[in-house]
Amino acid sequence: ADPVGGAPAYPGFMTRGIDAPENYYYRRVYTDAVRAVEAARSHPLTDPARTVAVGSSQGGGITIAVGGLVPDLAGIAPDVPFLCDFPRAATITDRHPYREIGLYLKTHRGRTEDALRTVSYFDGVHFAARGRAPALFSAALEDQTCPPSTVFAAFNAWDHEDKSIEVYDFNDHEGGGPYQQAAKLRWMRSYI
């Protein structure tokens, strides 16, 4: 059960606890992700200095958050990351899950400012500004779920000089698929 309670929300996860940053669903998700990195690094067969965070879509957005919250990762590789530039994404795509925000605000008029304030605390663009590791992003230019402009916003904010982005011109949210996996493995060889 959700420990925060049952404040009004649109079905899904994007608006759970959107009334305040301390209640927002993704606060708990990001905390769990940071704790997962800590747990993985504590294993005796793990070299903590060679830890890389990777993920696609929601996992990509979480990867960016982890990269901003864990200062000594060897690298991060978010693919077609979700959870970036919430205000723009919520207004330029009609695909879920970003659409949940608009549908929530459609029936909860007057709460736009509070909702956008809450999600700003969990926006990948802000976590990217804290990034201290090499990064390999990916974006798909026909992605309607995670619009490329939102991915580029996080990439441009990533605060490390050693960063690059793979761009897939004619792909939707599947991104580069196996091509991106191969690119990521080649990239990781130089960091771990």
DSSP letter, residue 183: H
> In the chain, which residues have pLDDT < 50?
none
Q: Is 143 a catalytic residue?
A: yes
Burial per residue of 61-74, b for 16 or more beta-carbon CB atoms within 10 angstroms, e otherwise: bbbbbbbbbbeebb
pLDDT of residue 5: 61
Half-sphere exposure of 50 (CA within 13 A, CB side): 9
Bridge partners, 166 (sequence order): 138
pLDDT of residue 9: 87
How long is the chain? Answer: 192
pLDDT of residue 1: 64
> If DSSP states are collapsed to H, E and C, what string results for 95-155?
CCCCHHHHHHHHHCCCCHHHHHHHHHCCCHHHHHCCCCCCEEEEEECCCCCCCHHHHHHHH
- 84 in helix, strand or coil? coil
Exposed / middle / buried, residue 11 (Cβ in 10 Å: 0-12, 13-18, 19+): exposed
Q: Is 138 a catalytic residue?
A: no
Catalytic residue among 57, 79, 123, 138: 57
Cβ–Cβ under 8 Å, residues 78 and 60? yes
Find, among 119, 128, 16, the residue nearest to 69 by Cα.
128
Q: Is 173 a catalytic residue?
A: yes
Q: For CA atoms 160, 53, 4, 85, give the dihedral sign.
A: positive
Q: Does the predicted model carry a pTM greater than 0.75?
A: yes
Cβ–Cβ under 8 Å, residues 154 and 137? yes
Domains in the chain (CATH in brackets) are 21-189 (3.40.50.1820)
